[in-house]
Structure 1
Amino acid sequence: MPIRSGSARWQGNLTDGSGTVRTGKGGLQGNYSFKSRFEEGEGTNPEELIGAAHAGCFSMAFSKALSDAGFTPTSVDSTAKVHMGQTDAGFSVTKIDLETTGDVPGIDESTFLKIAEEAKANCPISRLLAPGVQEITLSAKLA
């Protein structure tokens, strides 16, 4: 399997500085700042990127699970709302509200809901976020 990457550059101090984030192949790039992260300023932030990753991963996992069960979806639209709050450990992601709408011909509501719950439990990003990361490595260099 390929290794995926993202990068970020921050310039300045926490409250007055600014930065850019970018996906490895440059498909997404955005500016971010203290205001875009902790207030309502212009730009993106890491939590939005986590939300987009979670929504994208879940939509694909749900589509696969529906197809595997014999229900080919016309579309699956998902949103992940990432909540950040102050905890004893500092600022943390405290909750993610995953919302999805599927256009799935021939499926009943209870089957749809059951498959959605299974997809939520088995989507790789859900599995990553639910218990937390088991290992984080760091390679640091001083420029």
Structure 2
Amino acid sequence: MKRNATAVWNGTGKEGTGHLTTQSTVLDKSQYSYNTRFADGIGTNPEELVAAAHAGCFSMKLSFILNAAGFTADEIVTKCEITLDNGAITESHLIVSAKIPGISKEVFDASVADAKANCPISKSLNTNITHEAVLL
């Protein structure tokens, strides 16, 4: 399987603007700029997109792990906070809460750790990955 996205950038790094389009067109010429990345501009930025990708990938991997252990989550909610410091992503912090009927805290915690270590986005990131997990 291959997926793609295209970035177009015009101008300088600080004054220029760009847009992003994904293969699915969920993003279709979505604006990004210096202000959306480093200030309060309207639009997206690469770190926000990495956060969305990591949260989504982790949640789906956790669901597969739970299913393999005989559990089905009613809901998994994952927030991902990406830290950009001195030009590098230095941390991806996953905050997950889940409602999973019949699961023990121990099995839940082990499943979260497995998903954190083994979702494809976690494997692709060269950064510190941390997490908080709450079983509802």
Residue 140 of structure 1 corresponds to none
Q: 1: distance between equivalents of 2:22 and 2:97? A: 27
Please state whether the residue corresponding to 2:62 is helix, strand or coil. helix
Identity in percent: 40
2:125 pairs, out of 123, 129, 138, with 129
Cα deviation, residue 8, structure 1: 0.6
Question: Deviation string for 1:28-49 (max 9, x for gaps)?
Answer: 2321110111122211000111
Please state whether the residue corresponding to 1:14 is helix, strand or coil. coil
Q: Name stretches of at least 5 consecutive residues in structure 2 with no aligned partner.
A: 128-136
Q: Name stretches of at least 5 consecutive residues in structure 1 with no aligned partner.
A: 132-143
Q: 2: distance between equivalents of 1:84 and 1:74? A: 33
1:95 pairs, out of 91, 98, 109, with 91
Q: Give RMSD over aligned pairs.
A: 1.2
Report how many aligned residue pairs link the two structures.
126
Q: 1: distance between equivalents of 2:43 and 2:85? A: 19
Aligned partner of 2:8: which letter? Answer: R
Aligned partner of 1:85: which letter? Answer: D
Cα deviation, residue 80, structure 1: 1.0
Aligned partner of 2:41: which letter? Answer: G
Cα deviation, residue 27, structure 1: 1.5
Residue 115 (structure 1) aligned with residue 114 (structure 2): no
Residue 85 of structure 1 corresponds to 85
Runs of 4+ in 1 over 3 A off after TM superposition: none
Cα deviation, residue 50, structure 1: 0.6
